[in-house]
Amino acid sequence: MRQNEVKKDAEQFCGFVGLIGRPNVGKSTLLNKLVGQKVSITTHKAQTTRNRILGIRTEKGTQIIFIDTPGIHRTENMLNKKIVAYAENTLGDTDLNLWILQPYPQIYESRNCFSHLHPEDQHILKILSKKRRIVVVLNKIDTLSKGDLLKSLENLDKLGLFVEIVPVSALNSTNLDQLIASLKKYLPPHPFYFEQHQITDVTERFLASEFVREEIFLRLRQEIPYSVAVIVEQFEENSKCIKIACVICVERNSQKGIIIGKKGEMLKKIGSGARKKIESLIGNRVFLKLHVKVLKQWTKNQLHLKSLGFE
């Protein structure tokens, strides 16, 4: 019996869909667009996502639970090793995996397409070859000519490992309806795991810390954002406003000075930007207090990583 014939008799279809790709290919942007609300931070810098984020889309008897994983990349940093290992392990618990790729038609020109993929994409392909049901999402098609897009699609199809290849532009919401329609075909019959109104499994407290970290990524350059962790120490709600206090952990005193800025101006800008995003999410006034603390070499210290939630 075909999938669409099964759906006639079933009430609910539900499944977990993993998002995997190299850093900065647009996974978090895609997740936010598919869910319809910002649940994962996005910046122009690579390796922004550190945690597993669930985004939930529920409509007409189907619930798709997207798992946004950190970008897969080669690293010697202890923090990043933990992050990448978690991303790879997540793929074993899904019903379907989406491999998000940027279209580079020139890297598929040889007969041996596999060897001419980016080295990190080769690594991802080896991981995915052990999984069932892979849909390739060719993102950022707005940056390509029609001819280059067709060449990318043809050469990806030569690999023969995927159930579908869907070209999209997450930023411009191009072809996202087609992507959702494709995903629905592979959802197993199952009661919903989450309430129909729920769009993520993470708390407002967690998202508040992420929005602070996002502002740091957007406003500071070089290695500073990658040496930052944000901890929410206070999250108190009342009818008038929500009081939030966050500690920004850095590795060196020089980094602390840069984040605070001259006369505290940079910290004020970070707090103002994050506060607006939190208020938009929560729908209430927010009083946000930020404090910067030095935790020497925390990204390389097992105990520090554990204390900050990186198991």
Kindly write down the DSSP assignment for every residue of 229-284, as one continuous string.
EEEEEEEEE-SS-EEEEEEEEESSHHHHHHHH-GGGHHHHHHHHHHHHHHHHHHTS
- Give the position of tokens 């939190």: 278
Parse the chain into domains and list their residue ranges. Answer: 3-184, 204-307
- Topology adopted by domain 204-307: GMP Synthetase; Chain A, domain 3 (3.30.300)
Q: Is residue 62 within 8 Å of residue 41, measured between CB atoms? A: no
Query: What are the tens digits of pLDDT across the range 225-269?
Result: 567 888 899 999 887 899 999 999 888 888 899 999 999 999 999
Counting beta carbons within 10 angstroms of the beta carbon of residue 218, is it exposed (0 to 12), middle (13 to 18) or buried (19 or more)?
A: middle
Same fold, 3-184 and 204-307: no
Nearest Cα residue to 52 out of 28, 73, 23, 75: 28
83-125 confidence digits (pLDDT tens): 556 556 666 678 888 999 887 666 544 444 455 577 778 777 7
- Which fold, 3-184? Rossmann fold (3.40.50)
Decide the pairing of beta strands 229-237 and 164-167: unpaired
Which tokens hold the place of 58?
A: 């529920």
Give the Cα separation of 61 and 224 in Å (integer).
Answer: 45
What span, in angstroms and rounded, lies between the C-alpha atoms of 144 and 157? Answer: 18
**What does the pLDDT read at residue 225?**
59
Region of residue 133 (phi > 0: left; psi between -120 and 50: alpha; otherwise: beta): left
pLDDT band at 303 (very low <50, low <70, confident <90, very high): low
> pTM for the full model?
0.74
Helix (H, G, I), strand (E, B) or coil at 221: coil
